[in-house]
């Protein structure tokens, strides 16, 4: 069974880093994201009005629309988080119009209608993408990737990386370069995308020398334009392009066979060696590189 290829999705971007800190909008008012849709930009009522609205909502609305505003099937209460009326409402005018047609009848004084609408607005202001309730898909998070041990990282760097890279050579001053963005530092060395030396070649294979071998043994050599599960495209030596359709009838690897010289091959093998369940090796090396000023 192949080892999980570390870091191709989460780690380089710091998605497994800790701790996580939620960052709300300036002044502590409004939603979990700044700008964009009305639920994130409209000004909310004072806290006492919102608190009153919550009390009224819990008493008069939650039975059908649920405590989290997502509605109920057995009571036929629609989802208020995604409701056109509540999303477009400004100061209770659309909510009030809906209450006037409510079944069963529900009559509230204008001040109470306003309070309920403002409570709904306050929940919408904190909800996540695709209308998910607050906390389901956290937004506005920052990640601290400098959680490793720099001393251990120095030893691991010497063992795993120093045969190709040097903190006094191609990586000189790398910590200073990314001083304001440790997450970018981690992504840079993990994916091999920093400037200087072997770290600057990127992860793509387009433009690299490639050989395509047909089932009958005929070979074509050129530079790779595209390679996926269905198609291979080469630019041949004379400048022409040639395409090859891939099939898998008798060969799980695919026919024709394609070989591409990958400048990141050694780096990718190093990442497999580096892999560990909690990504501690990665965090330790990141912490060490951050000290290289």
- Taking only the tens of pLDDT, the chain with its 293 residues reads 334 333 333 333 333 343 333 333 333 344 444 456 777 778 889 999 999 999 999 999 988 898 888 888 877 888 888 888 888 888 889 998 988 888 887 889 999 999 999 999 999 888 776 666 776 666 566 778 899 999 999 999 999 899 889 999 999 999 999 999 998 999 889 877 644 333 333 346 788 899 999 988 899 999 999 888 888 899 999 999 999 988 877 666 668 888 888 777 778 888 888 888 889 999 999 999 999 99
pLDDT attached to residue 13: 34
pLDDT value for 263: 76
Q: Decide which of 1.10.10, 2.60.120, 2.30.30, 3.40.190 is the CATH code for 209-263.
A: 2.30.30
Superfamily grouping for domain 24-131: Cytochrome c-like domain (1.10.760.10)
What's the rounded Cα separation, in Å, for the pair 164 and 263? Answer: 13
pLDDT at 254: 67
Q: Residues spanned by CATH 1.10.760.10 within the chain?
A: 24-131
Residue 271 CB contacts under 8 Å (≥ 6 apart), including other chains: 5, 6, 7, 190
- In the chain, CATH 2.30.30 sits at 209-263
Residue 50: partners with Cβ closer than 8 Å, 6 or more residues away: 44, 115, 118, 119, 122
CB-based contacts of 279, cutoff 8 Å, min separation 6: 6, 7, 11, 16
pLDDT for the residue numbered 140: 64
pTM for this one? 0.45
């Amino acid at each position: 069974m192949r080892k999980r290829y570390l870091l191709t999705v989460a780690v380089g971007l710091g998605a497994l880093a800790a701790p996580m800190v939620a960052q709300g909008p300036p002044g502590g008012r409004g939603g979990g994201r700044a700008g964009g849709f009305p639920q994130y930009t409209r000004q909310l009522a004072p806290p006492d009005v919102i608190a009153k609205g919550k009390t009224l909502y819990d008493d008069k609305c939650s039975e059908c629309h649920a405590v989290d505003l997502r509605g109920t099937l057995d009571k036929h209460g629609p989802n208020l988080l995604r409701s056109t009326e509540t999303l477009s409402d400004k100061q209770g005018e659309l909510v009030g119009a809906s209450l006037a047609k409510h079944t069963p009848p529900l009559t509230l004084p204008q001040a109470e209608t306003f309070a309920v609408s403002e409570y709904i607005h306050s929940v919408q202001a904190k909800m996540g993408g695709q209308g998910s309730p607050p906390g389901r898909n956290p937004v506005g998070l920052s990640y601290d990737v400098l959680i490793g041990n720099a001393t251990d990282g120095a030893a691991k760097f010497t063992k795993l990386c120093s045969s190709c890279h040097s903190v006094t050579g191609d990586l000189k001053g790398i910590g200073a370069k990314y001083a304001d963005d440790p997450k970018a530092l981690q992504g840079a060395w993990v994916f091999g995308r920093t400037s200087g030396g072997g770290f600057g070649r990127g992860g793509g294979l387009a433009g690299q020398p490639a050989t395509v071998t047909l089932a009958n043994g005929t070979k074509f050599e050129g530079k790779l334009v595209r390679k996926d599960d269905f198609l291979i495209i080469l630019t041949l030596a004379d400048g022409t392009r040639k395409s090859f359709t891939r099939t898998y009838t008798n060969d799980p690897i695919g026919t024709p066979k394609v070989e591409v010289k990958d400048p990141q091959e050694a780096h990718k093998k190093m990442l497999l060696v580096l892999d560990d369940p909690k990504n501690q090796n990665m965090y330790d090396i990141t912490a060490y590189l951050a000290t290289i000023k």
